[in-house]
Chain A
Amino acid sequence: MTAENPQFDTIIHAPNRLKICALLAPFEKVEFRVLGDELNISDSVLSKHIKLLEEVGYIKQRKIKFSGRLRTWVSLTTKGAKAFNGHVQELKRIVSFADNSLT
Chain B
Amino acid sequence: MKPMHRLAVAACLILSAGALSAQAGDQRLAKIDAALSIDGTDFVGQYTFTQEVSRKGETAPAVSTKKAVIYRRDSSNSYLLILSEPEADKGKAYLKTDNNLWLYDPVSKRFTFTNAEDRFQNLNIRNSDFSRSSLAKDYKVVGAAKEKLGMFDCDVLSLEAVANTVTFPKLKIWVSPDNLVRKRQDFSLSGELIRTSVMPSYLKVGAFNVPKRVIILDELRGRTIDGKFVNDQTIMVVEAPSLQKLNGSIYTKAYLEQIGR
Q: Do A and B come from the same complex?
A: no
